[in-house]
Amino acid sequence: MKSEKGTVSAYTIDFEPVGRRGKCHKSESLLACAHYVGIGINSICGGTGVCHSCKVQVLRGNVSRPTSKELEAFTPEELAQGWRLACQTYPLTDCKLSVPPESMTTLQRIQVEGKELRVEPELPVRAYQSAFTMPSLSNPKADTDRLIEELNHKYHIHCNTIEINVLRSLSLQLRSWDWRCQVIVRDDQVIGLNPWQTPLLGLAVDLGTTKVAAYLIDMNNGRTLAAKGIMNPQISLGEDIISRITHIIKSPDKSLKIRKLIVEGINDLINSLCIEVGANPEQIFDAVVVGNTAMHHLFVGLPVRQLALSPFVPAVSRALDVKAKDLGLCIASGSYVHLLPNVAGFVGSDHVAMLLATGVWQAKGPIVAIDIGTNTEVSLIRNGKITAVSCASGPAFEGGHIKDGMRAATGAIERLRIADNKIQYQTIDKAPPIGICGSGILDTLCQLFLSGVIDAGGRIREDCSRVRNYKRQREFVLVGEEDHKKQSDITITQRDVRELQLAKAAIRTGIQVLLEANNCTENQIREVIIAGAFGTYIDVASALIIGMLPSLPLDRFRQVGNAAGMGAKLALVSSTKRAEAQSLAARIKYIELGTAPNFNQTFIQTSYLGRYRIREGKREGVD
């Protein structure tokens, strides 16, 4: 491609090992090019050069000179080897890049399974197999009237309207199907026609900040036909919800782009689910979507600015039914998407779905239900009363803001033990270690504390083996260069430990605030439910030892997987469950964490490592 002056304006970029090729304009960064061709490269900081999550290696070709951010991120040797930050680097010729697994948003383990309650299908949308009498000179009734009258008469229903797109194709379809078809009815409206005896399908989606899980459901029996997860493609515009909202506040035109990313992601999921079971997306006549309030708003196209400003108010909290085509979803044109209710700015319908799926909202309690993520929602259920808080736990437990942190992908250290001063670890897919994911990070903090390398205040002691000073900070070497093929050692730095202390203190403070608001003590908690991908894989014992969770016997903890996704599935097949979701959301009393008495004192105390309980803002050790 030549510009008017005859110079090359775009270059060809080869991405390895994914084997994708794309055109990159010289004014676009390598990160922008990767996202344009559909390659998921991490960009936790949204491309500002501070997170170092978008590392790539230039294998061939010339690129722009390293920026000051890159000079900070890499040693001269690494720069000489071609290591660069994709968000800071611009091509000067055609290039070939290597994208290491730790920079990829794909190849990631996505939690889609969860423990669920079984319910009898009680469908908001029904399919009726119908054969109609053909028109004749003695019976020349309009096609629509014929369909509605015969349908109502045969099935004793009261259908009286027909969706406009169905109406447009009805006459041709009835004749081409020889007056036999399946009529899809929602409330009192015909929303679709299908060939005779076509399976009726539904879609349930859990829209997470980091991951999106989708389930294709056979609506006749509630069975899951296929389930898949992807990384949320919006990650390219910021790892957490606040950075995405900030993007939109700074440039409002980004809101369309960010909505388009998630809609396209869900449509890709729909296609691959349907391909897996040999179905057509046009067979999907109902959908339920759950997510945190910001993801809900971004998906629907609602304003999000007010979510980031005190008092953090959602645009809408009640349940919504929106035409799928108005949202851009490629399923049957007459279908609707049901969005479960939100509770508050930072407690969304995913938390409601989790409470619905586990059934704990109806329990006597006290029960604590936690969904751990970049934003952690916690509820305490006691005698029919539900109180909830939201904790800004940040991305540390998903590998973000941790020097060698990564997502739960091939090569991530997911378990770690220290015995006799020896490090034992297990990686995902038993691959050579390239970084450390959330569950491994939690284990590491616990093991370093137990072995005395870190004190209760989180300080790394200088006089321990494997501890060194590097780039003006103390760090513990988990995996040395001699042990693996990564470019540099895998370490936990003093800064990482501080990030983890903040993350775990946020969660423990949330639990403590709920206990105090309900005049409960830790010992009274009958059960702690832990939901979400990170919560599924953590070693609860490690979480207890670092003081992230209350010091209770292990048998009081229950890890339930992706309960939000399970709740979405329940609501998809049951009108009663949709009504229950609305009623339970209305019963939740939300507490803004920062306004709780003793908040600051509790937060400081809960940042300490070890087993303890908090009383009136003071920490008491527990054996």
Binding site for ligand FES (CB under 6 A): 43-45, 47, 49-54, 85, 87
CA distance 115 to 562: 8
| Residue whose C-alpha is closest to residue 263's, from 295, 303, 310 | 295
Cβ proximity to ligand FES: between 365 and 435 the closer is 435
Instruction: Name, in order, each residue with C-beta under 8 angstroms of 12's C-beta and a sequence gap of 6 or more.
Output: 21, 22, 23, 24, 94, 95
Least separation, in Å, of the C-beta of 199 and ligand FES? 43
Instruction: Name, in order, each residue with C-beta under 8 angstroms of 623's C-beta and a sequence gap of 6 or more.
Output: 611
Least separation, in Å, of the C-beta of 607 and ligand FES? 26
Least separation, in Å, of the C-beta of 95 and ligand FES? 17
Least separation, in Å, of the C-beta of 498 and ligand FES? 20
Cβ proximity to ligand FES: between 82 and 334 the closer is 82
Contact 205, 290 (CB under 8 A): yes
| Residue whose C-alpha is closest to residue 369's, from 237, 519, 510, 182 | 510
CA distance 565 to 214: 8
Cβ proximity to ligand FES: between 45 and 125 the closer is 45
Cβ proximity to ligand FES: between 45 and 166 the closer is 45
Least separation, in Å, of the C-beta of 40 and ligand FES? 12
Q: Are strands 376-382 and 367-371 parallel, antiparallel or unpaired?
A: antiparallel
Cβ proximity to ligand FES: between 85 and 418 the closer is 85
Cβ proximity to ligand FES: between 104 and 148 the closer is 104
CA distance 491 to 25: 37
Phi, psi of 163 (to 5 degrees): -65, 140
Q: Are strands 284-291 and 201-207 parallel, antiparallel or unpaired?
A: parallel
Cβ proximity to ligand FES: between 50 and 502 the closer is 50
Cβ proximity to ligand FES: between 29 and 410 the closer is 29
* Helical H segments across 293-334, by residue range: 293-300, 324-327
> Which residue is listed with tokens 């790394």?
460
Contact 348, 318 (CB under 8 A): no
CA distance 341 to 384: 19
Least separation, in Å, of the C-beta of 74 and ligand FES? 11
Least separation, in Å, of the C-beta of 69 and ligand FES? 7
Least separation, in Å, of the C-beta of 20 and ligand FES? 19
Cβ proximity to ligand FES: between 205 and 261 the closer is 261
Structure tokens at 581: 């979701």
Cβ proximity to ligand FES: between 49 and 100 the closer is 49
Structure tokens at 303: 């304003």
| Residue whose C-alpha is closest to residue 609's, from 508, 513, 537 | 508
Cβ proximity to ligand FES: between 72 and 481 the closer is 72
DSSP per position, 194-263 = ESTTPPPEEEEEEE-SSEEEEEEEETTTTEEEEEEEEE-GGGGG-SSHHHHHHHHHH-TTHHHHHHHHHH
- Half-sphere exposure in the Cβ direction for 470 (13 Å, CA): 16
Instruction: Name, in order, each residue with C-beta under 8 angstroms of 408's C-beta and a sequence gap of 6 or more.
Output: 108, 109, 399, 414, 428, 437, 438, 439, 533, 537
Q: How many CB atoms lie under 10 A from the CB of residue 77? A: 10
Instruction: Name, in order, each residue with C-beta under 8 angstroms of 60's C-beta and a sequence gap of 6 or more.
Output: 95, 96
Least separation, in Å, of the C-beta of 102 and ligand FES? 13
Least separation, in Å, of the C-beta of 232 and ligand FES? 15
Least separation, in Å, of the C-beta of 65 and ligand FES? 16
Least separation, in Å, of the C-beta of 54 and ligand FES? 3
Cβ proximity to ligand FES: between 38 and 49 the closer is 49
